[in-house]
Amino acid sequence: MGKFRKLGRDYSHRLSMLRTMVSQLVKHERIETTVAKAKEVRRKADQMVQLGKEGTEHAARRAASFVRGDDVVHKLFTELAYRYRNRAGGYTRMLRTKIRTSDASTMAYIEFVDRENELREPKPATPPPPQRVPLDPWTKSRSSQQWAGPKITKTSESDSL
């Protein structure tokens, strides 16, 4: 699995928990968990959506080996793959919600973006800034010369005689 948070669990428990949480996230499209778990779930959920976008048989088998349930695999390869077909990445969003009273851990919602009933509406796309015409370096130097005072040259008395 590479670099990851251990989350206070051994490997088999951690893997089982992540598989269940990713499956529930795909199924319900929003879950509430701790911030550390949400960050790990986000990584795996984005990988599963990327597999769904590939749409090959090999990708389907890889996704089915991680998530739980045929309905979850079907949703990955149909609904979510279609929804994010033009998106390059960042399929999930994490929103911090509260501090749990029992152990004071920070809770967060993790949800898919671009869906109905979102907790936070996406920001509108910002238009690109207008293109500026590059300045000619010689024009700049001429404009700075017009503000300079007249050039005074010293003349010797022998020149004027």
Q: Write out pLDDT tens, residues 91-111.
A: 999 999 999 898 999 999 999
What CA–CA distance (Å, rounded) separates 146 from 149?
8
The chain-wide mean pLDDT, for the chain, equals 84
For the entire predicted model, the pTM comes to: 0.69
Q: Domain residues of the chain, as ranges?
A: 11-112
- Kindly tell me if the per-residue pLDDT of 1 is higher than 80: no
What CA–CA distance (Å, rounded) separates 72 from 55?
14
Fold of 11-112: 50s Ribosomal Protein L17; Chain: A, (3.90.1030)
- Gap between the terminal Cα atoms of the chain: 93
Q: Quote the pLDDT of residue 57.
A: 94
Confidence band, pLDDT 50/70/90 cuts, at residue 129: confident
Q: Of the ranges 2-16, 25-39, 41-55, 69-83, which one carries the lowest mean pLDDT score?
A: 2-16
Dihedral through CA 76, CA 79, CA 82, CA 85, nearest 10? -40
